[in-house]
Chains A and B, each alone.
Chain A
């Protein structure tokens, strides 16, 4: 976090104590949300969040900040809708401006098969609590006049599923608000303090070894993004996780207003306009497993080629910035939350390319699990044991980023 921001915020830094009730590894969105909800919902404030870098400096600062609940399986629709609802109230709850803006998402269909898929998505979403409806080309054009409805002649827009609650928020403000909320209630956040190992007491995880010394803990939660396999290995666990890069970029300022978030799973890209007026584009993960933060030119080239089919006006814009996050991908494209089989060790991972939208609900549910000792119904299907039980939560089609 930079000095300017620190001056604006009421954060009290304290040295690490010898012991905490709960230690959270990773001060990104999910780690801080867990600390925040432990403090606000369960009055558990003897909590420390250890961060190897700075608050929100990992994937929380490297995503495309899209918030939506139009997923493809019932459990996921319910979970992400909870998150959409929490996000809508988060500004008021934290008394911070998060630049949360409801824009609506248009998910384009360019073929009969895709029309069928989007119609099904709308039905399933409505059934399980998320507002999504299928709309025809005329309504699509009204919502987004910039679209070339012929899709460059090759990808005609035959309709779209419209999810009006789709939104974006400012990633930094979200993590800072959660950090402030947790810290002013007594939780500690320790930046620049990597966790180097776990303290094992027999079969149980009893604390963490950090760069600032050993810290005992009643419960340890890994909310790490990008390096979770390494943390899990410290507890003797092997995970169904492979880490891939995900790139995104923004263009220079587009003078007109671009209302909704536009996505197409046939063209594999999505676009939205940032608060600064830049057009933000994202697409699929890189094919090779990698922990490198390097971004590549061919990604920009590929995505531009596809995006210009639908949004030809972007041909006059220039690419301004490009960045990369490293995503922990689960095999079924659903998150992994809950107990691990190792006592005292909890995981919230597998956030792949869909972590930002789940920050409040993920934190709330993990906090409830830790505070009550019971797995909340909302995240019960997303346990790590689902792979051994042959109950995977396959939802690749909803990720929108593969």
Chain B
């Protein structure tokens, strides 16, 4: 079974209907402005475990929403609307 994304409007739909959106957070310990720009543009947390991420229902209601997902198992943890 492929990953199903719980859209708050349309319900569980195939991941292929959605566009993944990462929430970019530059860590506070990066202080140099150039370093912060570089981090924002390119670096990823790439966390193994539960992450909060945004999805855009491109082929559905075209809404952005936030979900929590465990990247080691692809299990959706708790859907919540942002």
Contacts and interface: CB of A to CB of B under 8 A. Distances in A.
What bracket does the count of chain A residues touching chain B fall in? 20 to 34
A240 B46 CA distance: 9
Given A296-B2, A388-B38, A241 B20 contact: no
A242 interface: yes
Contact of B74 (A241, A292, A387): A292
B73 interface: yes
A239 B44 contact: yes
A290 B74 contact: yes
B78 to A, nearest CB: 17
A323 interface: no
Interface in A275-292: 286-292
B3 A288 contact: yes
A229 interface: yes
B17 to A, nearest CB: 10
Contacts of A289: 20, 22, 44, 46, 71
Interface string B1-37: 1110000000000111011101000010010001000
Given A298-B2, A299-B2, A242 B46 contact: yes
A288 B74 CA distance: 9
Contact of B46 (A239, A296, A297): A239
A349 to B, nearest CB: 11
Nearest to B39: A238
A294 interface: yes
A290 B20 contact: no
Best-surrounded residue of A242, A286, A288, A297 (most CB of chain B within 10 A) = A288
Contact of A241 (B3, B19, B41, B44): B44
B51 to A, nearest CB: 8
Contacts, number: 71
A239 B3 contact: no
B77 to A, nearest CB: 14
Interface residues of B, number: 28
A230 interface: yes
A297 B2 contact: yes
Nearest to B42: A240
A331 interface: yes
B82 interface: no
A287 B48 CA distance: 16
Contact of B20 (A239, A288, A299, A331): A288
Interface string A211-239: 00000000000000001011000000011
A83 interface: no
Given A287-B15, A296-B3, A229 B74 contact: no
Given A296-B2, A388-B38, A239 B43 contact: yes
A243 interface: yes
A287 B2 CA distance: 11
Given A287-B18, A298-B14, A388-B38, A240 B74 contact: no
A292 B72 contact: yes
B48 to A, nearest CB: 5
Interface of A: 227, 229-230, 238-243, 286-292, 294, 296-299, 331, 387-388
Interface of B: 1-3, 14-16, 18-20, 22, 27, 30, 34, 38-39, 41-48, 69, 71-74
Given A296-B1, A388-B38, 10 more contacts: A227-B48, A238-B45, A239-B44, A239-B46, A287-B18, A288-B20, A288-B74, A290-B72, A291-B48, A296-B3
18 contacts: A230-B48, A238-B43, A238-B45, A239-B44, A239-B46, A240-B43, A241-B44, A242-B46, A287-B19, A288-B15, A289-B46, A289-B71, A290-B71, A290-B72, A290-B74, A292-B74, A297-B1, A387-B42
